[in-house]
Structure 1
Amino acid sequence: MTSLLPLKSATQSRDRDLDPQLLGLTEESAGDILSAISSLTARRILDILYDEPRPTSEIATTLDSSVQNVSYHLERLEDADLVEVVDTWYSAQGREMDVYGPTNSALVLYTGAETVPPSLKRALGRSVGGIGAIGVISALVHFQWTETGPFAPSRRVAPIGAQPPEPTIQESIMNFITGPGGTLLTAGLVVIAVCLLWWYWRRYRPARQQAQSI
């Protein structure tokens, strides 16, 4: 009689949205990874899983090894965050089998400052810092302009003996936008955006494509 339980799903590494892992040899986690893949068996297991996620029994059959030996290496690879359980299959007897797959699309170990891959998170952080600095400078420029420029309190028209009228919120915003502070802020944002786009297309995108092709 045909089993009603699903025997196998079509889990594929290429179907999962994974990013490459770029790891410097001096990073703290590099020691765990190098220790986990020091064995040829572990490296062969990892190579098999990059080709296609599989349960322990299938890996053991492919390597002509014991399930206990494969389980040992899978545990070490999982502790090093190189593999993870990505699915559950069922045997013909209805027994659940954990299916292992890689945690990244490619593992790249590097050394040397020149090989450090570009980081989108780091670039965005620097951009936010630059925007903040430009915002502070533009606010200072605007404050100085309102104290000495045509909208300074001493230059506002008011009846004799009366205090100069305070500008409304809308007037203050328009004064900032049309003043040197707003001009400086706009120019700074445009420069940061252009630099970020240039960096993305000329450095980050090619590096990511190269890492994914490895």
Structure 2
Amino acid sequence: MSLLPSTGDVTGEQEGEIQVLGVDEDGSADVFEALSSDTARRILTAIYDEPAPPSELADRLDMSLQNVSYHLDTLEDVGVIQVADTRYSEKGKEMNVYAPADDPVVMFVGTEERKTGFRDLLKRLVGATGLLFVISTLLFAFQAFGQPGGASDDLTPLELLTFPGLEFLLGGLFVLGLVVLLWVWNK
């Protein structure tokens, strides 16, 4: 059972989209409770670093398998992690591999109107940032390799900083930062 909206939910959210959960909504207390433990947060961080089955997480974090399993169940119940794959142990036993949930979770304090505006802003920022990275990568690749006299293997890091792709990316991120500040100021 996931407390967060998923595909087909009446909220209209699609899988893989940012989920904004208000602190006063049903289920937010369960998410806070699941994340209130230092152990649960360490396990969640380890899963974000590298998805793994419970036994591997227990070894990496120097914890008991029972403790890790308990927190994995709790984190999965509130929708912060999910079973992403299955592996087989050396003895042939099937093991679930836990990974971060497909739907990123953002906890939000504020009115429903501000929450909706915040969700829309996050979606736009994620899309705009992705577009900036794609365009800057294309600019860099064209400048470095797509024309005569382009970059060679002997470029210094300082010379890489003068490429238009990086300048475009940094300028775009600066503008996005200004947009966020303007949004916050006007709310």
- 1:34 is matched with which residue? 32
Q: Decide whether aligned partners of structure 1 residues 25 and 62 sit closer, same or farther in structure 2, where only a CA change above 3 A counts.
A: same
Instruction: Give the counterpart letter for 2:23 in structure 1.
Output: L
Q: Decide whether aligned partners of structure 1 residues 39 and 204 sit closer, same or farther in structure 2, where only a CA change above 3 A counts.
A: closer
- 2:124 is matched with which residue? 206
- Kindly report which structure 2 residues correspond to 1:66-105, keeping only aligned pairs within 5 A, or say none: 66-104=64-102
Measured on the aligned residues, the alpha-carbon RMSD in Å equals 2.9
Deviates more, 1:53-62 or 1:110-119: 110-119
1:207 to partner: Cα distance = 4.2
| Structure 1 segments (4+ residues) deviating >3 Å | 117-120, 207-212
Aligned length: 115
Instruction: Give the counterpart letter for 1:50 in structure 2.
Output: Y
- 2:55 is matched with which residue? 57
- Taking the aligned partners of 1:96 and 1:31, their CA distance within structure 2 comes to 33
The sequence identity of aligned pairs, in percent, is 43
- Taking the aligned partners of 1:69 and 1:29, their CA distance within structure 2 comes to 23
Question: Is the Cα contact below 8 Å between 1:118 and 1:207 reproduced in 2?
Answer: no
- Taking the aligned partners of 1:210 and 1:69, their CA distance within structure 2 comes to 41
- 1:110 is matched with which residue? 108
- 1:22 is matched with which residue? 20
- 2:140 is matched with which residue? none
- Taking the aligned partners of 1:205 and 1:70, their CA distance within structure 2 comes to 33
Question: Is the Cα contact below 8 Å between 2:18 and 2:123 reproduced in 1?
Answer: no
Scaled by the length of structure 2, the TM-score of the pair is 0.53
- Taking the aligned partners of 1:108 and 1:57, their CA distance within structure 2 comes to 29
- 2:134 is matched with which residue? none
1:210 to partner: Cα distance = 8.5
Instruction: Give the counterpart letter for 1:85 in structure 2.
Output: V
Query: Which ranges in structure 2 are unaligned for 5 or more consecutive residues?
Result: 1-14, 131-187
The structure number with the bigger radius of gyration is 1
- Kindly report which structure 2 residues correspond to 1:155-170, keeping only aligned pairs within 5 A, or say none: none
1:47 to partner: Cα distance = 1.4
